[in-house]
Amino acid sequence: MKNWLNLTAVAASVALLVGCTNNPYTGEQQAGKVGVYGGLGAVAGAAIGAATSSKKDRTKGALIGAAVGGAAAGGYGAYVDNQEAKLRQTLLNSGVQVQRDGDNLILIMPGNITFASSSANITSSFHPTLDSLVLVFKEFNKNGINIVGHTDNTGSLQLNQNLSNHRALSVANYLTTKGIAGSRISAYGVGPNQPIASNANEAGRAQNRRVEITLLPPQQ
C-alpha cells in the first residue's frame, strides 16, 4: 500500500513539474493548468489502477493508472490553456473580459459596447469582435457555449427579463449565422437577478448590464 502511494505521488509531481510555467505578470514560476490537471488525473488514475489490480500487481496497476489518468487530464488542461491564451490575445483591448473558473472560460461583454440602450440589436461596431470570437470557437470546437443576458434593476422586472432574453438570443443568432453549430449553444436571460455590482449607483448598474458567454467542457 505504502509503495503504490509513493509512486502515485511521484507521478503527480512529475505531471506538475512538466506543467510549470513563469507567470507573465509576476515572473514567478507556477504550476500551469496542464500540470494541475495532469497531477490530479495521475492521482485518480493511480487509485483506480491499484484498486482494480490484484495485490501482487497493485504497484504496477497504480503506475499504469497514474500514467493514463495524467495524460488524459493533462490533455484537456492543455486544450483549455491554449484556448484561454488565444481568447486573451484575440480580445485584447476589445473591452471583453476573459475569466477562468476551473474547467470553464467566461467571457464578460459589457452592455455599453454590445447594445444600444434598451435595445437587443448588436451594435455594428461590436461585429468585428464577435467575428474574431467565431474564429476561436471554430478552432476550439469541443466546447458548449452558454450565453446569458443580464440587466440592472432599472425598470420593471418583466421588461428586464425580456430584454436580457432578447440580448442573449441576439448573440446566439449571430454566432449561428456565422457557422457555429446551434447544437453547441444555449441562450437565455436572467434579468437583474444575478448582479455583480451594486445597483445603487451608475457605475454598478453599468457592470450589471452585460452578456456572459461560458465555454463549457466537452459533454457538459
One domain, residues 80 and 172: no
CA dihedral (16, 137, 88, 196) positive or negative: negative
**Block residue for cell numbers 459533454:** 219
> For residues 110 and 207, is the Cβ–Cβ distance under 8 A?
yes
- CATH code of residue 167: 3.30.1330.60
How far is the C-alpha of 132 from the C-alpha of 50, rounded, in Å? 46
Q: Which domain does 32 fall in, by range?
A: 2-88
Task: Tell me the average pLDDT across 76-90.
Answer: 92
One domain, residues 162 and 183: yes
Task: Tell me the average pLDDT across 9-34.
Answer: 45
One domain, residues 78 and 44: yes
Top pLDDT among 219 and 113 is at 113
Structure confidence at residue 218 as a pLDDT band (50, 70, 90): confident
Task: Tell me the average pLDDT across 23-46.
Answer: 45
Q: Which of 54, 88, 122 is the last residue of a domain?
A: 88
Distances (CA, A) of 218 to 28, 76, 121, 141, 144: 31, 10, 30, 9, 7
Q: Which of 88, 121, 147 is the last residue of a domain?
A: 88
One domain, residues 17 and 115: no
Whether the pLDDT of residue 43 is over 90: the answer is: no
Top pLDDT among 6 and 213 is at 213
One domain, residues 155 and 202: yes
Q: Which of 49, 71, 88 is the last residue of a domain?
A: 88
Task: Note the pLDDT of residue 18.
Answer: 44
Whether the pLDDT of residue 201 is over 70: the answer is: yes
Task: Note the pLDDT of residue 4.
Answer: 45
Whether the pLDDT of residue 9 is over 60: the answer is: no
Is 0.75 topped by the overall pTM?
no
Top pLDDT among 63 and 90 is at 90
Residue 216 grid coordinates: 463549457
One domain, residues 133 and 188: yes
Distances (CA, A) of 200 to 88, 129, 133, 213: 31, 30, 33, 25
> Interior CA angle at 145 toward 143 and 151, to 5°?
155
Structure confidence at residue 7 as a pLDDT band (50, 70, 90): very low
Task: Note the pLDDT of residue 77.
Answer: 79
One domain, residues 105 and 198: yes
Domain count, the chain: 2
